[in-house]
Structure formats: C-alpha cells, structure tokens
Chain A
Amino acid sequence: MNILLCCAAGMSTSLLVTKMEAAAAEQGIKCKIWAEGAGAINNHIDAADVLLLGPQVRYLLPQMKKLGEERNIPVDSINPVHYGMCNGAEVLKTALNLAATRV
C-alpha cells in the first residue's frame, strides 16, 4: 500500500507522515507513506495507490481528482480536525478506506 500526501510545500504533511507510519506499524500494516508539495505530485502519483490532500490545499481537489481518475487512483482531502491534531491513526483509516474503493 502506497499512500501519497500532498500540501503546499510538503512540509506540514510530512509531520503527519511520521504519525501515520507509527499508527501503521502499531497495527501491523505494511505501507509506504510520503509527502510531496503540490508541484511535485505529477512525478509521484504513479507510484501511489491513494492520494490525500491537506485541507489547506483542498482547492486543488478537482484538479487532482482528474489526475487520479486517469490512473484509477482515489483522491480525497483530509479531515481538518484529524489533520490539525496530527491524528495518524484516523488519517490512515481514511487512506485505507479510500484505497478499498479502488476498482
């Protein structure tokens, strides 16, 4: 499972990455999680199974969804409260549920 996170510069979401990795390790789920800036998503999306946007760049959602649809990669934005509290477990759950919708 490859989870790609996106925010403006990839900085604040990288904070969440460590929390999500910890949650994944705790639950024994094997996955690769990484964060990139919006400009770099084009070069990374192919390696991902699911793409999550930070709430601060959710204006990119239509654009990113289109990118995802072309590749059959589900895209959504992260719940702001989970994002703010750096709730790794909840965001991981979102990612896994979203990935399950992949056809």
Chain B
Amino acid sequence: MSRLNDILENKVMPAAGRVAGQRHLQALRDGIILTMPLIIVGSLFLILGFLPIPGYEDFMARTFGDAWLTKLMYPVGATFDIMALIAAFGIAYRLAEKYNVDALTAGAISVAAFLLATPYQVPFTPEGAKEAIMVGGAIPSALMGSKGLFVAMLIAMISTEIYRFIIQKNIIIRMPDGVPPAVAKSFVALIPGFVVIALIWVLRLIVENTSFESLHNIVGEVLGKPLGVLGGSLIGTLVAVFLIQLLWSCGLHGASIVGGVMGPIWLSSMDENRLAFQADQAVPNIFTQQFIDIFIYVGGSGATLALVLAMILRARSQQMKQLGRLAIGPGFFNINEPITFGMPIVMNPLMIVPFVLTPLVMVVTTYIGMTTGLVAKPAGIAVPWTMPPIIGGYLATGGKLSGAVLQLVNFALAFGIYYPFFRMWDKQKYSEEQGAIEITTAKKLQA
C-alpha cells in the first residue's frame, strides 16, 4: 500500500504540478471561464423557452404572440453565440497577465485577429432558390460561437505570444526627447498589433487560395475533429475521469487541471446539443460538461455525496460522524474538499480505490443509459456545477424526469461501492478512538 503512495508522491504529483503550472493551459482554462456566467444566463432563457409543461407553448403564443419563442431566444444568441469571441479576449487577457504585459491591449488585439481570420460572409437562401448563396457584409454568428472556439483559442495564444515577445524584447517606436511619456506609451501596442494583424492577414490570404477556403475550416479539420473524437468517445472520457480522480487522490484539483484540455471539447459538444435542442432536433452528444459535472460528480469529484450519507447514517467513530455533519451542506452543492482532505481520501490507499472506481463505473452506466435511450441526453443547458442533485439532472436534460432518476440511480451505485470501504475505514477509526479512551482511563486508574 505504501508503494501506491510512493508512486503518487514521486511520479504523479510532480508531473501533475508541471502540467497544471503550464501557463498556456492555465490561461486557456481561466480565459474560457469568462464565458461561463454569460452561458448560464443564456441557459435560463433557454429553459424558459422549453418548459416541459403541457399547454405551455399555446399559453405563451396566446399571451405574447406567435413569435414569442424567437424573441425569448434573443439573449441565448447574445450569450452562447459569442462564446468564441469572449474566449478570444479572455484567453489573451489571462495569458498576457501571466507574462506581466498589458492584458487589456493583448485582449483587444486578439479579438481583432480572431475576426480577421473569419470571413464576413453568411449563407443565405433567397426565396424560390434551391441553393444558398454567400452574402457579404455580415459577421457569421455561427463562427462567433462554439464552432469558432478552437480558432479563437489558437489565435489568442499566437497573438499574445507575439505581443509579449515584441514588448519584452523592447522593440517599440522610440519617440524623440520632448514627447510626453504618455504619448510615447500610446504607441507601444502599434508594432506588436501590426505584426499580429499582418501575420493573420497573410495566413488568411494563403488559405483562401486552397481548398480549405478559411482558417476556420482548417482548424476544424486538423484540431476540432480529432479532439471531438477524443472527447466524444467512451474511452476518452474514461481516461479523463481516471486522471481527474488520480490527481485528486494526490490532493490536487484534478477537474481544474484536466479541464484545461477537456473543457473546450466538452463545451463545444454542449453547444452542439444546445443548437439541436433549440431547433427541436435530437441532441447528438452524450459527453458534455454537464455529463461530467451533473451526472458523474454527484456531490463533487468522486461522487462523494453517497459517502457522506454513509457517514451520517452508519458511522461509529466520532471523527467520521463529525465529518459527515460538516460535509453534508457543501456536499449538496457538489463541494467535497472536507471529505477529500478531512477523511482523508488523499494519500489514503484504502479510500482511493472506491474514489477512482465509482466515477468510472458511473461513466459506463450513464453512457449505457443514454445510448439506449432509457435516459435523456444532456440538452446543452449550462447548469452550473454547484447545482444540487436531482434539480441538476432535471434541468440539464431540458426538464426530463429521467435525468433526475439517473442521478438517483448513480447515487445508489456510488453508495454501494463506497460502503464496504467506508466500513473498514470507520472500524479502524473507531478502534483507534476506543484504544485512546482505554489508555486514558488506564492512566487515570494508575493515578
């Protein structure tokens, strides 16, 4: 057992530290977080548009007119559909911050570069025509949303790297003496800004001469598709969840470390589902951010709410009883640090076994439930990860009871896996406590 700890401490932890400390991954994660509040607000409107109440649609149409749904979806378009635009700014901003260069300017340059990579054309089908024609003079909203996410990520990184390189090498326009310093400073962004814009411009000109036609198409083929396959497959998800659990077993925030890589993938599959849900079509993807947050991590990474319940119901040792009471409140909101560090699960070989096993089993059962159609797939509604269970499952599936039932089934499964391990640990703690009491009473007797 101590060999496991040895591997965790000497192999996994340093490697995880290096990955987690990597500034581009951090910037990616922190930058994309900027889109979350918007998407959650948009989700609220999305839910209102598709409340699963009989007669709701007729009622809304009678009250607000036939176009009620279109109007209700305005905020959805302004939040979900600018995901990539916001990410282009956010990622560049966070990366520039880490290099200690002006973040606001870096963000602005990145947004311009992202738009430069995007052809201002939208397809339009005129009345009576069979094929769509491309109409100029419009920014395509589809590419501002999840479809443009990978391009936005790449451009934010490239443009900020160029920006900070030029600033740090001190390549700036020198003003003659006598020019006020503030004026000189306003020119600082000119050279890096020009280089970034010129580079993306040249890239776009080259790509326009190939069969790809736009940078978005290339990135979609080269990056988007393989990553989509990785994130959309059962194996890929199992590996991701396994890594998250392994990192948490060392006491490191696995979700936040692995999320840097998987986040954008799960986010774009979430949005694909949202678009289908909004258009009243079957949702295509199973593995989205909500699959992980809502259906697997019931009570926090490792699905520990079941373990907390076991503590409250069956603990014999004082320590476990106390911990259960402390952890149940945060647990309902999927926060489980009191459990991981307090029980502890971290570096505790006995508890690491169910901690890693439970979510893996749940990924498989949830996957089976969703592919066979027993349970609804996540509808692309961005339910925040702190949403309590049952409500969370109901909302994430767009108001399907099967979503809530699935959470209950997963909870029961987790209880079953954790329980025997919990009993062993509790017994050990209990006898330690009894032993301590016997020693103190023995001492009192002697005295």
Interface residues of A (CB under 8 A from B): 7-9, 11-12, 15, 38-39, 42, 54-60, 62-63, 80-81, 83-86
Contacts and interface: CB of A to CB of B under 8 A. Distances in A.
Interface in B126-157: none
Interface string B325-336: 010001000010
Interface residues of B, number: 30
Contacts of A86: 326, 338, 342
B252 interface: yes
Interface of B: 16-17, 20-21, 26, 30, 33, 94, 97, 248, 251-253, 255-257, 323, 326, 330, 335, 337-344, 346, 386
Given A58-B251, A85-B326, 8 more contacts: A39-B33, A56-B340, A57-B253, A59-B16, A63-B21, A83-B341, A84-B339, A84-B342
Given A58-B252, A84-B342, A12 B20 contact: no
B262 to A, nearest CB: 15
Given A8-B253, A39-B30, A80-B346, A60 B341 contact: no
Contacts of B97: 42
Contact of A11 (B17, B26, B257, B386): B386
A84 B30 contact: no
B237 to A, nearest CB: 21
Contacts of B33: 39
Given A11-B386, A84-B337, A60 B21 contact: yes
A39 B326 CA distance: 28
A7 B323 contact: no
A81 B344 contact: yes
A59 B21 contact: yes
B36 to A, nearest CB: 10
A60 B29 CA distance: 14
Contacts of A38: 26, 30, 256
Given A59-B17, A60-B20, A84-B342, A8 B323 contact: no
